[in-house]
Amino acid sequence: PIYCASSPGCHQNTLFALFTQFRSRSIQRLAKSVGYNQLQTPVNGWSWPLHIFQITGWLLCLFFALVGFGILVPLLPRHWLPAGYIVSFGVCFIYHLVVHLTAVSIDPADANVRAKNYLGPLATFNRNQHAHVIENHHCHVCDVNVSAKSKHCGTCNKCVCGFDHHCKWLNNCVGERNYRLFLNSVLSAILGLGLLLLIACYVFAEFFIDPMVLRSDHPLKNQTDRWFVFLPAAPVETQAPAILITTGIFILLSLMTVVLLGHLLIFHIYLSSCFSFCIHCVFTHLTNTHILCRIATEKVENLVVPKLGKKGCGGREMRTVVTEHPWLDFG
């Protein structure tokens, strides 16, 4: 049972058991229903089936790229065009694309799991025989010895070294091998999309303030009723209301995306700082405990109990204790 009022430390055992059940709830559900050997084990984020969040993310990325670099940046004044293309597209977008594709393509599985052909049938996890999927650094599903930092992902059905979480937007686990790439992908997306958001706000405002500023590099800059997009590669004629509506939708979607990605980045930084602080506290506590135990051991080993001396008050025999550490005293 999880709770037993008669056992010592029952509250600590209860919290630990509840935490263990919370962490492995998906594993328990899958083990009871179909068994691990019937689940597909994907290699990386390109393995079938693709997640709906991954497809949505790619569609959003395509929308931001087409509208940002096909409509908004070409409307900038002539002296701003090089900065608009080089910074937002040449640096942020290309860098984000590279790190994002790399994070999706990497197999984050444990080294021993990758060395084994885990695409075939896997062992069925039997909770009647084992309390946990990983015991003594051995995974009963992958049937290999794994590192101390590895966790078995119930979604990917494999052990991931330095497991952080399973990202549905990447359709891949985020672990030790691709965690930095994941953070760089989030950060580059925030920077690139933030720049395009500023450009979109500028274009949207100038449509009402002075539309001619947006036509300084336009082939029909003396006309106000005809607009072209996807300049200069593939000019497409359109009307001002269409550009305004598209820009407004772009601003709303990009603002929501930047806020969500910023929250995700801050959350990961917060968790990393808290983890480092907890590790520091545990290390300090263990160090202090080791020092105290060492002092106590030396104190006991260096006890010198002389012969009985003078009698004290009440006829008691007085005893002198000499230790190596004079600031410690026995009661």
Active-site positions read: 167
Instruction: Mark 19-31 as b/e (b = at least 16 C-beta within 10 Å).
Output: eeeeebeebeebb
Residue type for position 305: V
157/29 Cα distance (integer angstroms): 13
Question: For the chain, what is the radius of gyration of the CA atoms?
Answer: 32
* Cis peptide bond prior to 232, omega within 30° of 0: yes
Contacts of 81 (CB under 8 A, 6+ apart): 73, 74, 217
Name residues whose C-beta falls within 8 Å of residue 195's C-beta, 6 or more positions apart in sequence.
87, 88, 92
Please report where in the chains the tokens 């080791």 appear, as a residue: 290
8 A C-beta contact, residue 152 and residue 158: yes
Check if the beta carbon of residue 161 is closer than 8 Å to that of residue 108.
yes
Query: What is the secondary structure of 239-289 as a DSSP string?
Result: -HHHHHHHHHHHHHHHHHHHHHHHHHHHHHHHHHHHHHHHHHHHHHHHHHH
Residue 136 sits at the vertex; the CA angle it makes with 135 and 142, to the nearest 5 degrees, is: 55
> From CA 82, how far away is CA 89, in angstroms rounded?
10
* Coarse DSSP helix, strand, coil percentages of the chain, rounded to the nearest 5 percent: 55, 10, 35
End-to-end CA distance of the chain: 43
Q: 160 has which bridge partners?
A: 109, 151
Q: According to the 3-state scheme, what is the secondary structure of 113-135?
A: HHHCCCCCCCCCCCCCCCCCCEE
